[in-house]
């Protein structure tokens, strides 16, 4: 996935949000649906682990930079 995280709900624009205020029947609600619950779970878990991997990578890089810039003992 190219997004930072997977979400079961759509990310509406400003106009979509405004239209939803007027949509009393809820017909404009769009979800990122999957074929079955297992597929949705797999997508969500994959997204969670991708986010964890990115966070760990950023933390490792930050620590490398901190160690390189600190004076040697």
R_g over Cα of the chain: 20
Residue 47 near residue 1, CB atoms below 8 Å: yes
Q: Report which of 73, 3, 69, 67 is spatially closest to residue 32, judged by C-alpha positions.
A: 3
Backbone angles phi, psi at 9, to 5 degrees: -105, 155
3-class secondary structure, 4: coil
Residue 20 has a pLDDT of 73
Q: Where are the domains of the chain?
A: 14-69
What is the pLDDT tens value at each position of the chain, 73 positions in all?
A: 445 555 655 666 788 777 777 777 767 666 667 888 898 889 889 989 999 999 999 999 999 999 999 877 6
Taking the whole predicted model, whether its pTM rises above 0.85 is answered as no
Closest CA to 4 of 38, 58, 39, 52: 52
């Amino acid at each position: 996935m190219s997004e930072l995280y997977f979400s079961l709900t759509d990310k509406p624009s400003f106009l979509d949000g405004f239209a939803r205020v007027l949509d009393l029947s809820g017909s404009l609600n769009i979800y990122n649906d999957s074929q079955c619950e297992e597929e949705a779970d797999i997508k969500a878990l994959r997204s969670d682990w991708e986010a964890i991997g990115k966070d760990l990578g950023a933390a490792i890089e930050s620590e490398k930079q901190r160690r390189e810039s600190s004076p040697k003992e």
